[in-house]
Structure 1
Amino acid sequence: MAEIRDKKPYDALTDAEDLTAGTDVIPEGDFSLEEILAEYGGGRRRHILDEAEALATPELEAQDEALTDGAETAFALPPQEESESDELSDEEALPDADLPDEEDFPVPEEILPSPPRPVSIEQAVGQTVGDVMEAQESLTAAQRPRRGLFSRKKIPLEDTEQLYEPPGPPPEPEPEEPPVGPEPPLDEAMRFAQKRWRRLRRPLPVAALICLLLLAPQAAEAAGYTVPLWTGDGMLQTAVSAGALLLLCILCRGVFVRGGTRLAHKFFTGELLLSFSAVVALLDCAAVLWLPGRSAVPLYALPACVGLFFGQWGISQREKARSDTFRTAALDLTPPYLVTDLETGACKQPGRVPGFWSDAEKPSLSEIWQAALLPVVFVASVVFAALGSVGQGRNADFLLNWSAILAASAALMLPMTDALPAARLAKRLQKGGCAVAGCAGAERISRKKSMVVTDQDLFPPGTVSLNGVKLFGEEMPRAVSYAASLARSSGCGLRRLFDNLLVSEGGTLESLDDFSFYEEGGFSAAIRGESVLLGTASFMRKMDVRLPSGLNLRTGVFLSIDRELAAVFAVKYKPSDNVDWALRLLRRNKIQPILASRDPNVNPGLLKRKFTAKVKIQYPTLSDRVAFSEQESAQGRPRALLLREGLLPYAETVTGSRRLCRAVRSGTALTLLASVAGSLLSFYLTGLGSYALMEPLRLLAFSLLWTVPVFLLDHTAGRY
């Protein structure tokens, strides 16, 4: 064997010549495939072809016999000539002279046999194999055992059988928001809102004083005291009530303007209902003088006056919220960050201003709900007033009943359910350098109870430091250059740390090829044809990089070149008090942070070790983390603006938006419930004529009691 292996390739030709020595060598010639197979065709292929030809021969002979029989039937000879033709040769059997002419004996084409078709050996073999398979299947079916009593019948799957339920209809896509149109500068919007707020709040002290002056004599009479010149003088009471109500209509004309303006935009708001209540109460005061058939009951001017005061207060608070919001947003025309909404939750991105004003001017959820229900309440008040007066033959009491029903159904907090919490939140966020684009922007941010958090939010600049570097056979500039290049391409929070180290050590950034992330906690790339890895210790072990036995670093960053350890960077993560407080804030308000970290060391285990708060954070897969972190580069619609770094302003904005929406939603629901309840109760009492149970003071107390829970809810929007 050794000699054969040692031979050269051309020695085989010499051996062949030695074997043919002394023999007659046949000269070379051209041989066909049939001759080669005839000489060397003793293999399995030859046996298979022979068997197939043997099986196909009877079928071919049967086809030839059928063709021959058909030909004999078409050209049948007389019986006496058949015996003679048997003794003749093939050439003598049918001479050309004895053949009949086709013109003398025409034969129809339909009885002529079809011309024979050539059958290849492949077709014959295929047909034979098919017959054999059918015979085996029939034999297997005949020998198949019977099923037992409790056996199952196997039902073959068909193409039309559905292995799973078909998916339902795809979810309807959310309506796309209109593009951002021309917007006024935020500083101009701030100045305009401040002017309106100062103008609207100016009549509030006078309006409150008028309401108290009108309330005092009625409260004294209800307490059992006699008020000189007031008690028992109906004309004086009517004149004073009408004058006070008319004066408040002039002072609080902003309520009428706000109601008419929103009605032009197809929004029936609480300001419009309070305006109708004041107008109807003023007409009822005139009805006391002009309609002698009116019932002698007190006027409902006092609840209408208090309603105008609350309406003026509500619209002034709305302008106060807009003023504080635009003032914060106008501090920097290019804010560092904005907060937008994603399918997974809120996300912080690079800041921009266009679109913020448009979202701030959108109608709130309270206005949408009021526009859906208050028209029904208003129409119901007209119907109820007519049924309680005209329906009972008391036509002169129509304005009296209508003013009573409107005073009960026009809840005092209707204009303030969204204005008061928005003003409190804007004042709170202004101190932290944040601004939310009104109730509409807060609704989009808090729609999902989650927010995307990156490693730079948890460990802002200054909290990540280098605790030491250890090299393993590499130069410091080369190791730092490779590590800084990978860190910069990854986009993690270590980028600033390695950039500073790169400048101090005099390294340079290298061009990378085939950069990749790894779920195990690291990155890889090709630099100058070398395979470079950067990541945690567990990542290096999984990538078959040998590490020293005594090396124990929980937050270390390891660098390997061509699967050889090159350097170890000891990184220290220092927790921040603001981040710890922000995590506590998110936990108290049940907001789920989604960790979109690219730093391999920043994981839920590190957060539990570094922060005292019981962090419950969602840690998605690597692909999702990279996708979420890439959203930072995309600029969405600015639902909120952030002028400060860190997690705390971001968490306060998301938490405040959620509390604002909850306060608006709950307050609006309670206020609308008060409106419906007051409408039904007043209809019942006016229908019975029980005006003694519906005195103006009692009706005012009923309305003020409904404001207590709404005030408490609105107050929580700025406290968290």
Structure 2
Amino acid sequence: MDRKDDMDLESLKNMLSDVPDTDEFDLDSIIAEVSGQAPAKAAEPMPKAAAEPEKPVEPQPAPAAETKAEEPQTAPRNKKDKTAKKAAETAAAAEHESVEEAREARIAAREQKMAERERRTVQKIAERQARREAKLAEKEAAEQAAEQQEIVEEAAAEEASRKASISRKQARAARIAADQAEEEEEIKLVDPETAMHAARRRSGILSFRSVLVLILAAAAAYLSFAPSFEALPLPVVLDILQNPTIGIGALAALQILALLIGIDVFGNGFSSLLHGRPARGTLVSFAALASLLHCASLLVFPDQGGVAVPYTAVSILLLYAEMREARGRSLAQARSYRAVCEAEQPLAVYSHYDSEIDACNAVKCPLYDASSFLTEIERPDTVDRFSLIYTPIALALAIILSLVASFNCGEPVRFFWAFSAILSVSAPIGLLCAFGASYKNTASRLLRSGAAIAGARQANLLRGTEKVMLLENDLFPTGSIELEAIDNLGRITDEQILGCAAALTESAGLELGRVLTDTTKERFGITFTARDVRLVEGGVTGAVGTSRIVLGTAALMVKMGVPIESGHKGQINMYLVVDNALAGVLTMRYQTTKNTYKAMRLMRRMHMNAVLAVRDFNISPAMIEEEFDLRRGFADQPDPAGVDRLLNPNYAKGDAPAAILTREGAGPFMQVLRGADKLAGAVRSALTLGTFAGLLGMLIVFYLLYQNAADALPVMNILLYQLIWYIPVFIITQQTR
């Protein structure tokens, strides 16, 4: 067989398929040539890319098919070409792979760089966010620290202020205690009944003598006014303008007679000054002495100028005012001593500073020492302490201004006129009568209510109290609490329910126990004895026989988990639990009395709050506010431990008693506080007005003396000035009735 026949065309085609698809080889032409067919038309050469124009590729026609004789010689050459081409292809593929690997490496490196850049960017953003959050957190922490520091500083400031306030109060209390200890050394106590009779007798004598002094003052005023008024009849002999020697002598005689009638008051003015305790009466004594010296100067130097009529009528009127003040004070002390004598077991009213609540409370406690209240009555009062300051100032100012006014005119003899004129207004009548009349009115009112107060100094202490401590008897006196009904649930009898409740409450020392015990006796019920009695919030617990008993309010039952029915509005129910089972319900009636209702309303008008020192679990601030129609927040009630502290008999021991009570209840208690408030207010207002009137009058008189305006300083003008400034003091005094 021919070699050509032996060749498999398909194998040849497969072998030649590895030849690169270029313009130099045309597979279809080669196959046609081998199979003896006409060769196909050579394909048009594909132009090269524009990148290589200098090497154009010439089209190569497909080689003509060889003859069968030449076929054995072409086979080896094709194999060599194929091997070379295959090696070139392998090298090209290797080169291509290396290029691709390099390209992939560059891409991977670029991606790695981008990833690293992104990672760094994210890291920077995270770091920036972390720094921002750290700054915000630091700022918030700083703000919180600042706020906390402000809170701490405010708390520290409040605490310091509170401690300072407490220290001031304690210093004030220590100062008062020191003054009291010093004053007690000079106080001599006598029997209350003896002191009462002595004060009453002295007040009667002063009343009679003051009337005589007032008559003499009216006579002196008539002798002073009549020469200036033709309508007033006056003998020529007594006319001070026509016969000055006899007229001035008559006025001096009236002055001396008035001083003899009130010699004790006149002498006390100088005595108190010599003992280092100048009083208001000292100014009166010096005014009377200056008036006598002025009369003498007018007789010795008739041509000295100035006023022709001395201020005798004014000085006698001031003596009358001082005598009326002493009379009112003596009468008020007599009434206070009377209250002490009538009381068998009096209660004392104290102004006690409670350091636990940082407030001053008005409290009722036993009178620890019977002589302590007598000491407070005899103790120097508010006006006496005020006089220690005002009197030396007024006296020194009068002397200085008189010297300046007299030497300014070049006539030193006018000193007596100037001194008498200035002293006549230095002690206004309102200042002299600032305490006696108000104290007398207050003592009279309190005596009718069953109480007595020591004076304006103690009244001022009571006026400064912030809260009033009220006991059970103050709110609901004896007879105002009643048992209304018993609701038996069938476990025990009504008598047993009542007896158990009475045993618990009476053993606890409640006023409610006395009421239930009396009710049990009235019904001929059974009386029990309770043991292990203990007061809890909202009730009382204990044991009766072998049973455990609990008596309390609805709130205590809810706390214990005992199911109860809601009571009717306005009812006060007590629930009795026997061995953890509800046995009965007792309905109580707390009836307000007329006097107690008035006392609570009076407390409301005085803007004072109540502290309920009661153990009765039925009495609560809400109940008191509802029963007495009071504002919300009027009453306050401490915890059981606080109640025990308030009810301690030695709670106010060490304080000076400000008043005493001879009757129980809130009525006398509130009358004492009301009287103290009025007395302290009246004395303070009178002293303020009197001080202003005295200083202003001294300056006005000095100015007129300095200007040598004698026509503006007659006796009538001085008297009118005194009376005008006494009118508001008189009105204030009448408010204490």
**TM-score, structure 2 normalization:** 0.72
Match of 2:435 in 1: 418
Asked if residue 649 in structure 1 is aligned to residue 634 in structure 2, the reply is: no
Aligned CA distance change for structure 1 residues 280 and 217 (closer, same or farther; 3 Å):
closer
Match of 1:663 in 2: 682
Structure 1 Cα separation of the partners of residues 662 and 578 of structure 2: 42
Asked if residue 315 in structure 1 is aligned to residue 326 in structure 2, the reply is: yes
Shift of 1:300: 1.1
Does structure 2 conserve the Cα–Cα contact (< 8 Å) formed by 1:595 and 1:617?
no
Structure 2 Cα separation of the partners of residues 624 and 258 of structure 1: 53
Structure 1 Cα separation of the partners of residues 409 and 569 of structure 2: 92
Match of 1:392 in 2: 409
SS of the equivalent of 2:437 reads helix
Structure 2 Cα separation of the partners of residues 441 and 192 of structure 1: 23
Match of 1:228 in 2: 235
State how many pairs are aligned: 573
Counterpart of 2:197, as a letter, is R
Structure 2 Cα separation of the partners of residues 527 and 203 of structure 1: 73
Does structure 1 conserve the Cα–Cα contact (< 8 Å) formed by 2:425 and 2:722?
yes
Deviates most, 285-294 or 607-616:
607-616
Counterpart of 1:382, as a letter, is I
Shift of 1:365: 1.7
SS of the equivalent of 2:672 reads helix
Match of 1:164 in 2: 152
Asked if residue 348 in structure 1 is aligned to residue 364 in structure 2, the reply is: yes
SS of the equivalent of 1:511 reads strand
SS of the equivalent of 2:617 reads coil
Match of 1:287 in 2: 297
Shift of 1:583: 2.0
Match of 2:421 in 1: 404
Match of 2:336 in 1: 325
Match of 1:639 in 2: 658
Counterpart of 2:338, as a letter, is R
Structure 2 Cα separation of the partners of residues 358 and 487 of structure 1: 41
Match of 1:370 in 2: 387
Does structure 2 conserve the Cα–Cα contact (< 8 Å) formed by 1:338 and 1:351?
yes
Shift of 1:399: 0.6
Shift of 1:277: 0.4
1:507 corresponds to which of 519, 527, 539: 527
Does structure 2 conserve the Cα–Cα contact (< 8 Å) formed by 1:346 and 1:446?
no
Aligned CA distance change for structure 1 residues 264 and 487 (closer, same or farther; 3 Å):
farther
Match of 1:120 in 2: none
Structure 2 Cα separation of the partners of residues 688 and 554 of structure 1: 80
Match of 2:396 in 1: 379
Structure 1 Cα separation of the partners of residues 567 and 437 of structure 2: 62
Does structure 2 conserve the Cα–Cα contact (< 8 Å) formed by 1:559 and 1:568?
yes
Asked if residue 273 in structure 1 is aligned to residue 283 in structure 2, the reply is: yes
Match of 1:83 in 2: none
Structure 1 Cα separation of the partners of residues 713 and 645 of structure 2: 60
Counterpart of 1:650, as a letter, is F
2:624 corresponds to which of 591, 595, 607: 607
Asked if residue 488 in structure 1 is aligned to residue 506 in structure 2, the reply is: yes
Provide, for residues 461-481 of structure 1, a one-character-per-residue CA deviation record: whole Å limited to 9, x for no partner.
Answer: 011111122333124555444
Does structure 1 conserve the Cα–Cα contact (< 8 Å) formed by 2:530 and 2:542?
no
Structure 2 Cα separation of the partners of residues 427 and 680 of structure 1: 39
Shift of 1:199: 2.2
Aligned CA distance change for structure 1 residues 218 and 706 (closer, same or farther; 3 Å):
same
Aligned CA distance change for structure 1 residues 151 and 616 (closer, same or farther; 3 Å):
closer
Aligned CA distance change for structure 1 residues 433 and 530 (closer, same or farther; 3 Å):
same
Shift of 1:447: 1.7
Asked if residue 620 in structure 1 is aligned to residue 637 in structure 2, the reply is: yes
Does structure 1 conserve the Cα–Cα contact (< 8 Å) formed by 2:280 and 2:432?
yes
Does structure 1 conserve the Cα–Cα contact (< 8 Å) formed by 2:475 and 2:666?
yes
SS of the equivalent of 2:635 reads coil
Asked if residue 555 in structure 1 is aligned to residue 576 in structure 2, the reply is: no
Aligned CA distance change for structure 1 residues 633 and 573 (closer, same or farther; 3 Å):
farther
Shift of 1:635: 5.9
Aligned CA distance change for structure 1 residues 161 and 300 (closer, same or farther; 3 Å):
closer
Shift of 1:424: 0.6
Structure 2 Cα separation of the partners of residues 629 and 486 of structure 1: 22
Does structure 2 conserve the Cα–Cα contact (< 8 Å) formed by 1:429 and 1:652?
yes
Provide, for residues 616-672 of structure 1, a one-character-per-residue CA deviation record: whole Å limited to 9, x for no partner.
Answer: 722233247614641467464432111122211111111101110010111111111
Does structure 1 conserve the Cα–Cα contact (< 8 Å) formed by 2:362 and 2:468?
yes
Aligned CA distance change for structure 1 residues 151 and 488 (closer, same or farther; 3 Å):
same
Asked if residue 206 in structure 1 is aligned to residue 194 in structure 2, the reply is: no
Shift of 1:373: 2.1
Does structure 1 conserve the Cα–Cα contact (< 8 Å) formed by 2:223 and 2:251?
no
Structure 1 Cα separation of the partners of residues 550 and 214 of structure 2: 73
Does structure 2 conserve the Cα–Cα contact (< 8 Å) formed by 1:555 and 1:601?
yes
SS of the equivalent of 1:317 reads helix
Structure 2 Cα separation of the partners of residues 481 and 193 of structure 1: 55
SS of the equivalent of 2:343 reads coil
Shift of 1:442: 1.8
CA RMSD of aligned residues (A): 3.0
Counterpart of 2:620, as a letter, is N
Does structure 2 conserve the Cα–Cα contact (< 8 Å) formed by 1:280 and 1:399?
yes
Does structure 1 conserve the Cα–Cα contact (< 8 Å) formed by 2:621 and 2:637?
no
Does structure 2 conserve the Cα–Cα contact (< 8 Å) formed by 1:581 and 1:648?
yes
SS of the equivalent of 1:466 reads strand
Structure 2 Cα separation of the partners of residues 550 and 602 of structure 1: 16
1:152 corresponds to which of 138, 157, 163: 138
Counterpart of 2:413, as a letter, is A
1:334 corresponds to which of 336, 345, 351: 345
Does structure 1 conserve the Cα–Cα contact (< 8 Å) formed by 2:336 and 2:454?
yes
Aligned CA distance change for structure 1 residues 214 and 292 (closer, same or farther; 3 Å):
closer
Determine which structure has the larger helix proportion and give its number: 2
For 1:668-707, list aligned pairs within 5 A: 668-707=687-726
Structure 1 Cα separation of the partners of residues 404 and 416 of structure 2: 12
Counterpart of 2:152, as a letter, is Y
SS of the equivalent of 2:549 reads strand
Asked if residue 714 in structure 1 is aligned to residue 724 in structure 2, the reply is: no
Match of 2:539 in 1: 522
SS of the equivalent of 1:145 reads helix
Structure 2 Cα separation of the partners of residues 529 and 641 of structure 1: 47
Unaligned runs of 5+ in 1: 1-141
Provide, for residues 168-214 of structure 1, a one-character-per-residue CA deviation record: whole Å limited to 9, x for no partner.
Answer: 25532221735788742211211221122122222112111111112
1:434 corresponds to which of 433, 436, 451: 451
Aligned CA distance change for structure 1 residues 501 and 390 (closer, same or farther; 3 Å):
same
Shift of 1:341: 1.6
For 1:169-248, list aligned pairs within 5 A: 170=164, 171-172=166-167, 173=170, 174-175=173-174, 177=177, 183-225=189-231, 227-229=234-236, 230=239, 231-248=241-258
Does structure 2 conserve the Cα–Cα contact (< 8 Å) formed by 1:582 and 1:647?
yes
Unaligned runs of 5+ in 2: 1-126, 354-359
Shift of 1:569: 1.5
Structure 2 Cα separation of the partners of residues 710 and 666 of structure 1: 8
1:258 corresponds to which of 262, 265, 268: 268
SS of the equivalent of 2:304 reads coil
Structure 2 Cα separation of the partners of residues 516 and 263 of structure 1: 61
Structure 2 Cα separation of the partners of residues 456 and 633 of structure 1: 19
Structure 2 Cα separation of the partners of residues 301 and 315 of structure 1: 21
Does structure 1 conserve the Cα–Cα contact (< 8 Å) formed by 2:406 and 2:415?
yes
Structure 2 Cα separation of the partners of residues 484 and 429 of structure 1: 38
Shift of 1:614: 6.2
Asked if residue 536 in structure 1 is aligned to residue 553 in structure 2, the reply is: yes
Does structure 2 conserve the Cα–Cα contact (< 8 Å) formed by 1:481 and 1:510?
no
Asked if residue 302 in structure 1 is aligned to residue 290 in structure 2, the reply is: no
Aligned CA distance change for structure 1 residues 488 and 258 (closer, same or farther; 3 Å):
farther
SS of the equivalent of 2:282 reads helix
Counterpart of 1:238, as a letter, is I
Provide, for residues 559-585 of structure 1, a one-character-per-residue CA deviation record: whole Å limited to 9, x for no partner.
Answer: 213332123211112221111222222
**TM-score, structure 1 normalization:** 0.74
